[in-house]
Amino acid sequence: MASTVEELQKDLEEVKVLLEKATRKRVRDALTAEKSKIETEIKNKMQQKSQRKAELLENEKPAAVVAPITTGYTVKISNYGWDQSDKFVKIYITLTGVHQVPAENVQVHFTERLSLIIWDGQVHILKSFDLLVKNLNGKSYSMIVNNLLKPISVEGSSKKIKTDTVLILCRKKAENTRWDYLTQVEKECKEKEKPSYDTETDPSEGLMNVLKKIYEDGDDDMKRTINKAWVESREKQAKGDTEF
């Protein structure tokens, strides 16, 4: 393009020289028209050159660097505290800085659905909630609690964000009832840990408790064996023979 503009410049200079020397009106008019035409051409070429130069400079600008929003890995929440009122079971989760993230980054879902899990010969309803905190200090935090001890109202349950704390409010379906445990699993584990008899009581009473426990947990053969031994023991005691 540079050579084209230079050629047009030379043409223009030559037309100007001829225009100065021309004396005939018809020739001067023709040269003047040619002069205007060349000047317009040069102007257009220069504008095109400037536009292309601006486009090149724009394309050479480094692209704006946008820091990716990353949530890193997900941390499972295992530490929490809970208490209750007449209407709510309250779960407290401590997360430093959670009050500073956008509200939509803290999500809690409450569910109550039929489950095929059976214990005590009954089909139970799984009551649960799950918490997900996104992009807190480059990480996500999650907590899932399945099978709450008693039914909750999904519609009446909610969450609150406090300084460094997420408060989950599970609305009790049956108000003014006490929850001794948060989940059914916790209840079962705690009850299994209870001793089957008290070592401080009379040894014979402890033995009776052990036999009772074996009888309740045993199959039909075990129960028949224990019943037979019990009857024989009672018969011997009636005859004055205390040997068991």
Length of the chain: 244
pLDDT tens for 135-194 read 998 899 999 988 888 888 889 999 999 999 999 999 998 899 999 999 888 888 888 876
70: DSSP letter:
-
Output phi, psi for 218, to 5 deg: -80, 170
Q: Is 161 exposed, middle or buried (0-12, 13-18, 19+ CB in 10 A)?
A: middle
Phi, psi of 85 (to 5 degrees): -125, -170
Spell out the domains of the chain, with CATH numbers in brackets: 4-51 (4.10.860.10), 74-193 (2.60.40.790)
The confidence score (pLDDT) of residue 60 equals: 66
At residue 99, the pLDDT reads 93
- Residue-wise pLDDT for 106-116, tens only, equals 999 998 754 44
Q: Answer yes or no: are the C-beta atoms of 80 and 143 closer than 8 Å.
A: yes
Distance CA(240)–CA(244), nearest Å, equals 12
What is the token pair recorded at 42?
A: 């040069």
Residue 63: predicted pLDDT? 56
Nearest-angstrom CA–CA distance, 224 and 230: 10
pLDDT computed for residue 206 by the predictor: 55
In terms of average pLDDT, the best of 143-152, 187-196, 198-207, 230-239 is 143-152
Q: What is the mean pLDDT of the chain?
A: 78
